Amino acid sequence: MRVQLTVNGERKETEVWEGESLLFALRERLGLPGSKNACEQGECGSCSVLLDGTMVCACLVLAAQADGHHVVTVEGLAQDGQLHRVQEAFAETGAVQCGFCTPGLVVATADLLEAKPDPSEDEIREALSGNLCRCTGYAKIFDAVRLAAGR
């Protein structure tokens, strides 16, 4: 079937098989592999994207369900060649190691700061608890969130 959706502000159209997830369509059909495929069952948060402004796991949304909707992926966060402040903060603080969780965490942090510009320590921990990271132990990710919030 054919689906039409707006991704990072651009109208896109692609053929998909009915069982394909939004994650698969983004990665394999629309040339946007930034959203990651770590578990594909909604447990790790590495495919977090915004669907009409609400954060979702792209692996749990069918591509067909996104037909006619707006999607923002990690590739859409930087504007006019300027990194999003969350992206800058992650790079600066050492919050990135292997980086496989990073796109999802960057999207989740941007979403958190949009809703709560000055989150408490507990609010940060709770908001990011759906995003698994295996490399960092999260310490530098918390540093990054605080740095981005302060900017």
Partner 1 sequence: MSAPVREKLELGRVGESVKRVDAISKVTGEFAYASDLIAAGMLWGHTVRSPHSHARIVEIDISQALTMAGVHAVLTHADVPGAKTYGLEFADQPVLGIDRVRYFGEPVALVAAEHPEQARRAAEKVVVTYEPLEPVVDPERATEQDPIHGQNPTAGHGFREDPRPNVLRSIVVRHGDPDAIGDVSVSGVYEIGIQDQAFLGPESGLAVPDGEGGVDVYVATQWLHVDRDQVAPCLGLEKERVRIHLAGVGGAFGGREDLSMQIHGAMLALHTDRPVKMVYTREESFVGHVHRHPAKIWMEHRASREGKLVCVRARILLDGGAYASSSAAVTSNAAAFACGPYKVENALIESTCVYSNNPPCGAMRGFGAVQGCFAHEAQMDRLAAELAIDPVELRLLNALETGDTMPMGQKIRGSLPVAEVIKRAAALPVPGPEELPRDPIRLPGGAGNTTRGEGVQRGVGFAVGFKNVCYSEGFDDACSARVRLRPGAGEELNAEVQCAAAEVGQGVTNVILQVARTELDTEDVALAPGSTDGVGSAGSASASRLTWMAAGAVRLACRDALAEFQDTGREVDLERTYHHSRTFPLDPESGQVTGEGVHVAYICAAMRVVAEVDVELGLTRVVWIGAAQDVGKAINPQAVFGQIEGGAAQGLGLALMEEIQTRDGLITNASFTDYLIPTTLDMPPIDSELIEEPDPDAPYGAKGVGEPPTVVSTAAVVSALRAASGRELARVPVRSDDLAGL
Selected from 94, 114, 115, 150, the binder of partner 1 by CB under 8 A is: 94
Indicate whether 15 belongs to the interface with partner 1 (CB under 8 A): no
Does the protein bind partner 1 through residue 129 (CB under 8 A)? yes
Rounded distance, CA 133 to CA 86, Å? Answer: 17
Sole residue written with tokens 């983004």: 26
DSSP assignment letter at 59: G
DSSP E strand boundaries for 67-107? 70-72
Single residue of 43, 52, 115, 117 touching partner 1 by CB under 8 A? 43
How many residues belong to the site for partner 1 (CB under 8 A)?
60
Task: Return the bridge partners of 48, or none.
Answer: 57
Residue 9 is a binding residue for partner 1 (CB under 8 A)? no
Ranges assigned E (strand) in the chain: 2-7, 10-15, 48-51, 54-57, 70-72
Q: Does 36 bind partner 1 (CB under 8 A)?
A: yes
The least distance separating partner 1 from the CB of residue 139, rounded to whole angstroms, comes to: 4
Counting contacts by CB under 8 A, is residue 119 touching partner 1? Answer: no
> Contacts by 37-44 with C-beta closer than 8 Å and gap 24+?
38/100, 38/101, 38/132, 39/132, 43/132, 44/101, 44/104, 44/131, 44/132
Q: Is 102 in the site for partner 1 (CB under 8 A)?
A: yes
Site residues (CB under 8 A) for partner 1?
A: 17, 19-20, 27-28, 32-41, 43-44, 46, 73-75, 77-78, 83, 87-88, 90-94, 96-103, 106, 122, 124-126, 128-143
